[in-house]
A and B are shown apart, each in its own frame.
Chain A
Amino acid sequence: MKFAEFICPEAIRADLAAVDKEGAIREIVQALQEAGRIQAKEQENIVKAILKREELGSTGIGRGVAVPHTKHSSVDRLIGTVAVSHQGTDFDSLDGESVHLFFLLISPTDRPGDHLRALENISRQLRVDTFCRFLKQAKTPEEIRQLLDEADNHQFGS
């Protein structure tokens, strides 16, 4: 599953202000709402669902990456976005490192396969060191969009 199939380009953020987990999740979900991908009335409910999922174990999966996610009945297909935090966010990650790169995913309740395929793509692309490093260094949403496009077009050799 390519990034273009689930990442909402208008919701990409290149410089998160939040320095803690809840703040980062709120900021990214807000971006999806502002991009029109989730309804305003569902926003708080989605934030709470993602935070509840984090209580089961952090999605800060190491190497400065987090994949906060939830299932939610208000979406009818997988949606997601990318956010970069230059100062780093305390996310209770497995390796204790701050998170600089977020992939936030919201899935319909009945499509677990799409969620796995999105994680597969994120994972395999991040295995390419240059892609991961360039994303973390990106200064604008446009730079991030270009990097995702290049990854989709196999320009990082994955």
Chain B
Amino acid sequence: MSSRPLHRTVVVTDPIGIHTRVAVAVAEIVHRSRSRVKLWVDPAYRAEGTEVIQILGLAAPSGSQVHLEAVGPDAEAVLDALEPVFADFEKQVPCKNSKG
């Protein structure tokens, strides 16, 4: 329950990389959480976890390492929820996005 940032590094195994549906899935998970999440491949460009547009700016191909930083009361849980999103998206249950 501390405000200390938690970090995790994940490897993108989706064959396309972080494409639009991956970015949307990340943003939806972060929106539902009570933590602030940032993502980066290169620390010079950090994407806000709620912003699909910024996440697409990572341009992370398959095999790249993405660093996640979460701060907030459910930081551990949100990192746990995010980790599988970067695996092969086609093998996961399709997630139709919703408004809001």
Contacts and interface: CB of A to CB of B under 8 A. Distances in A.
A58 B52 CA distance: 12
Interface residues of B, number: 29
B57 to A, nearest CB: 3
Overall SS of chain B's interface: loop
A59 B97 CA distance: 9
B3 interface: no
A124 to B, nearest CB: 5
Chain A interface size, under 10 / 10 to 19 / 20 to 34 / 35 or more: 20 to 34
Question: A-side binding surface: helix, strand, loop or mixed?
Answer: mixed
B94 A112 contact: no
B53 A63 contact: yes
A126 B100 contact: no
Contact of A94 (B17, B27, B95): B27
B53 A57 contact: no
Interface of B: 15-21, 23-24, 27-28, 45, 51-61, 94-97, 99-100
